[in-house]
Amino acid sequence: MAPTNVPELFGSYVFNKRVMKDRLPKETFRALKKTLDEGVPLDLDVANQVAHAMKEWAIEKGATHYAHWFQPLTGITAEKHDGFLNPTDDGGILMTFSGKELVKGEPDASSFPSGGTRATFEARGYTVWDPSVYPFVKEHTLCIPTAFCSYTGEALDKKTPLLRSMEALNKQGLRILRLFGNNTAKRISTTVGPEQEYFIVDEKLYNQRKDLRLTGRTLFGAKPAKGQEMDDQYFAALKSRIVEYMEDLNDTLWKYGILAKTEHNEVAPAQHEMAPIFSTTNIAADQNQLTMEVMKKVARRHGLVCLLHEKPFAGLNGSGKHNNWSMATDEGENLLNPGDTPEKNAQFILFVTAVVKAVDEYQDLLRISVASASNDHRLGANEAPPAIISIFMGEELQAVLESIKNGTHYDEISKKKMTLGVDVLPPIPKDSTDRNRTSPFAFTGNRFEFRSVGSSLSISGPNTVLDGIVAYTLKKFADELEPAKNFDEALQVLVKRELNAHWRIIFNGNGYDPSWISEAESRGLMNLKNLPEAMEHYMDPKNIKLFTELGIYTKKEIESHYEIKLEKYCQVLNIEVQTMLEMLNKDILPAAFKYMRDVSKTVSNLKSVVPGAKCGAETELLKKLDGLVDELAEKTEELNRKHLETKQAADYMSEAKAYANVVIPAMAETRAVADQIEVLLGEDYKPFPSYEDLLFRI
């Protein structure tokens, strides 16, 4: 491939500020900029001019259509394309695009999940442009990032609540900043850098595996002779097919203005990671959706398939999407960066305390925000952050917080104590390499890293919760501190009290250690092992109160999410069981029968040629296979029966629970027997590519 001119390529398919400035009349650009920077609504005249310029530019980039690009509750993106073309009287066409079409769209909403919201309210939904994210040309379509609502104002998407939660955090965070004397910052935004992990497999092999095609993960597969035990994959030199893939991936992402920065091999064989430079949360969320789409498409161009499932292979590390999160002002101040004056440090400590309190009080919401049928395989498994939510602070910051909490020394040698607003913090190391990777929520020097987010999830949900719970806590803090006569004193009291109240959530130890489970239990922390268990807490009054008071979700929206999440969980498992049953009946059992038949034939042939031949090995093998095949047939029947029973459940919650507690264990048992058979079959008899084929043949 020709070398890439990155500065030239970067953002070349994005209608960004540079293009806007270039192509719009000065007045129009100024009006648009006001919309972009301050959220002032666009008037129709300006919108018309912007739409015209956008269309002309898009046509030059090869676009023939435009689409309102949005994120329904399916968790993936949706786009309905409309051509620019408009017929003229004389049989020709004009390419048109109006301000109205730019700003608002009316896709038919009836086939998107709404969990009852739409049924009881309004059958139509509409999309509105989110001008804080730039439009871009993808393939032949001008994509306009939009929010998606019902006509009665309920959010039918993931973007709207995220924007609402960011707004809540902005409002409450600014109240806190004013208390510290900052009267100049106009806006606080949260920032996110999502590290995206993924697996790459060969397309031809992938096509031979029904489970990968239909469910995104392997439902069968014996452990290969070699797994990840040698640790010879992490950061290893890239195979040439992977290099070509990554080059193409980077070029495509850069074209769309995505700041793809870091790329490397991950721990498991065939596993990799791409991390972009962080950006404002709603932009990061949109771009991550686009990134996942591009990752999959580019892979196909190289005869590869990109797997974004959280656990494509049993026994190997799963894939996450570490959500690096912080808060920053429009003046460029990172509020989770320890400062260098006592004032700034007190402010930093207050924001950290808010995060501690928020995470402790809303463990359930954070856990729910990352719950999915696929991510359940990862959370609580040995390599992933546990299902228990806790915070890793790092030694230095922990010592400081402890000193504030107890009024003791944080530095025993120099007998230093921490008084807020008076003392300067000791240096807090950033991002040290030996940091704890077993924590679901870790402070890494100037941000928190929420590691429980799954690789296939939209980051909108987890960040809506994160922004929401921190906003709510900041609100309580501001309510208490604003009326205080002596701010410094009130601050000391508040921080000390809250750290004492929520200290249990801080855990610097090994989150994979089995002893942590009992320790967490004795601390009263939640251990929500799977989606249905977690969802039982979703509609707890405290959670509804938080969301509705901040205006992030209405009660109706919460009720609909509850239904949608459970329904989706059941659907995923239903597909997995059906796929399993098909593979058992059509692939695995027939493969075993065929092998057994051939071995039996060998035995009878041999006996007729060599009278008295013992055929000991063959007979042993046949006996073993015969036993296993019987067992597998039984397990298959049992799985089928349990599955059918589960589908009789009266509601989604009982169905989901039956899947989690009855069907998933039955799937595991069935698989275990099938995997034993796989090991015994001759190479020519295996029904589909093995783990070894998938993991090591790139």
Query: If 0-12 CB within 10 Å is exposed, 13-18 middle and 19+ buried, where does residue 672 land?
Result: middle
- Of 208, 170, 211, 168, nearest in space to 313 by CA: 211
Cα separation of 69 and 145, whole Å?
A: 5
Minimum distance between the CB of residue 466 and ligand ADP, rounded to whole angstroms?
11
Residues between 190 and 209 that touch ligand ADP (CB under 6 A): 191-193, 195
Cα separation of 282 and 604, whole Å?
A: 69
- Say how many Å lie between the first and final Cα of the chain, rounded: 20
**Interface mask (CB under 6 A) for ligand ADP, residues 208-237, using x and -?**
------------------------------
CB atoms near residue 345 (< 10 Å): 20
Residue ranges of E strands in 91-208: 93-95, 104-105, 125-129, 136-138, 141-150, 188-202
Binding of ligand ADP at residue 442 (CB under 6 A)?
no
**Interface mask (CB under 6 A) for ligand ADP, residues 491-530, using x and -?**
----------------------------------------
Cα separation of 204 and 227, whole Å?
A: 21
Residues between 261 and 280 that touch Mg ion (CB under 5 A): 275
Q: Which two tokens stand for residue 168?
A: 């809540």
User: What is the dihedral angle through the alpha carbons of 560, 563, 569, 574, rounded to the nearest 10 degrees?
Assistant: -130
- Of 240, 241, 175, nearest in space to 203 by CA: 241
Which stretch in 189-197, 204-212, 542-550, 659-667 sits in contact with ligand ADP by CB under 6 A?
A: 189-197
Secondary structure percentages of the chain, helix, strand, coil, to 5:
50, 15, 35
Residues between 393 and 452 that touch Mg ion (CB under 5 A): none
Binding of ligand ADP at residue 256 (CB under 6 A)?
no
Helix axes 159-179, 541-550, angle to 10 degrees: 80
- Closer of 195 and 693 to ligand ADP (Cβ): 195
Among 275, 304, 358, 466, binds ligand ADP (CB under 6 A): 275
CB 374, CB 216: distance < 8 Å: yes
Residue 118 binding target from Mg ion, ligand ADP, none, CB below 5 to 8 Å by type: none
Cα separation of 646 and 399, whole Å?
A: 50
Binding of ligand ADP at residue 462 (CB under 6 A)?
no
**Interface mask (CB under 5 A) for Mg ion, residues 176-215, using x and -?**
-------------------x--------------------
Q: What element of type H or E holds 558? A: helix 555-582
CB 446, CB 367: distance < 8 Å: no
- Closer of 406 and 446 to ligand ADP (Cβ): 446
CA geometry: angle at 432 spanning 428 and 438, to 5°?
110
Residue 446 binding target from ligand ADP, Mg ion, none, CB below 5 to 8 Å by type: ligand ADP
**Interface mask (CB under 6 A) for ligand ADP, residues 379-398, using x and -?**
--------------------
Minimum distance between the CB of residue 337 and ligand ADP, rounded to whole angstroms?
8
Binding of ligand ADP at residue 182 (CB under 6 A)?
no
- Closer of 97 and 441 to ligand ADP (Cβ): 441
Q: Which two tokens stand for residue 9?
A: 């390529």
CB 497, CB 489: distance < 8 Å: no
Residue 76 binding target from Mg ion, ligand ADP, none, CB below 5 to 8 Å by type: none
Binding of ligand ADP at residue 470 (CB under 6 A)?
no
Among 436, 446, 508, 548, binds ligand ADP (CB under 6 A): 446
- Closer of 228 and 636 to ligand ADP (Cβ): 228
**Interface mask (CB under 6 A) for ligand ADP, residues 313-352, using x and -?**
---------x-xxx-------x------------------
Binding of ligand ADP at residue 280 (CB under 6 A)?
no
Output the furthest CA–CA distance in the chain (Å, rounded).
Answer: 105
* Contacts with ligand ADP, residue ranges (CB under 6 A): 191-193, 195, 262, 275-278, 322, 324-326, 334, 446-447
Give the footprint of Mg ion on this chain (CB under 5 A). Answer: 195, 275
